[in-house]
Chains A and B, each alone.
Chain A
Amino acid sequence: GAVVSQHPSRVICKSGTSVKIECRSLDFQATTMFWYRQFPKQSLMLMATSNEGSKATYEQGVEKDKFLINHASLTLSTLTVTSAHPEDSSFYICSAIAGGPTGETQYFGPGTRLLVL
């Protein structure tokens, strides 16, 4: 159980275009999902917390108008990178919260590799 999927797994786009990344909890409902970004050889950095039916909460330094998050249902959150630039090239990973024997735990998706040319 507790499987999280992401689509697409990899995307290449031209500078100035927008890219949408989907995060789905496949076998459970997730009121809260998180979006992370990971640069090569660096740790995961939390970008925003996505709550179903309400506005996302962004971490300091993350532009909410550039990284649009929509959590329209209990199994789907989307991250749209608007007007992407080469510096946005990164590995984007989502996670969803599921309960378990040790309490709530984050289960991560497989990630989406974005390359902006």
Chain B
Amino acid sequence: QKEVEQDPGPLSVPEGAIVSLNCTYSNSAFQYFMWYRQYSRKGPELLMYTYSSGNKEDGRFTAQVDKSSKYISLFIRDSQPSDSATYLCAMSSQGGGNKLTFGTGTQLKVEL
């Protein structure tokens, strides 16, 4: 079993839809949770960074962490074609500046 599980997709939604992306994990030591966006042939770009359980909102993006269920989510409101990318969840037990364990990424396509 992988430490972090993420549905690879592809996930296709119409423009303006609310997108829900999820990861589950097995390591209860993970305390720091991140979402990265990766465009094709580019490096990952940090979108959201959360510590422990709870919600965090930044513009159209909302990150949720439920440590009791070992489940994290990223919601994208009013999705745009420019949101089409691969979204990677990443986790660490010691902070974002330390070893990260990544999910495989979910490929998202927002269609006009």
Q: Hey, which bits of chain A sit against chain B, CB under 8 A?
A: 4, 6, 32, 34, 41-46, 49, 91, 93, 95, 97, 102-111, 113
A106 contact set on B, CB distance < 8 A: 46, 96-97, 100
The 4 closest A-B pairs by CB, nearest first: A104-B97, A108-B43, A97-B97, A43-B102
Per DSSP, chain A at the interface is strand
B46 contact set on A, CB distance < 8 A: 105-107
Say yes or no: A105 contacts B104, CB within 8 Å: no
Instruction: Mark each residue of chain B from 76 to 112: 1 if its CB lies under 8 Å from any CB of chain A, else 0.
Output: 0000000000001000000111111011110000000
Q: Of the candidates A43, A97, A113, which one forms a contact with B105 in the assembled complex, judged by CB atoms under 8 Å apart?
A: A43
User: Which partner residue on chain B sits nearest A107 by CB separation?
Assistant: B46
Q: How far does the Cβ of B59 sit from chain A's closest Cβ, in whole Å? A: 15
Say yes or no: B99 contacts A104, CB within 8 Å: no
Say yes or no: A103 contacts B96, CB within 8 Å: yes
- In the bound complex, what is the Cα–Cα distance between A11 and B97 (angstroms)? 29
Q: How far does the Cβ of A62 sit from chain B's closest Cβ, in whole Å? A: 13
Q: Say whether B54 faces chain A, with CB atoms less than 8 Å apart.
A: no
Using A44-B88, A109-B43 as known contacts, say yes or no to A104 and B105 having CB atoms under 8 A apart: no
Q: How far does the Cβ of B39 sit from chain A's closest Cβ, in whole Å? A: 10
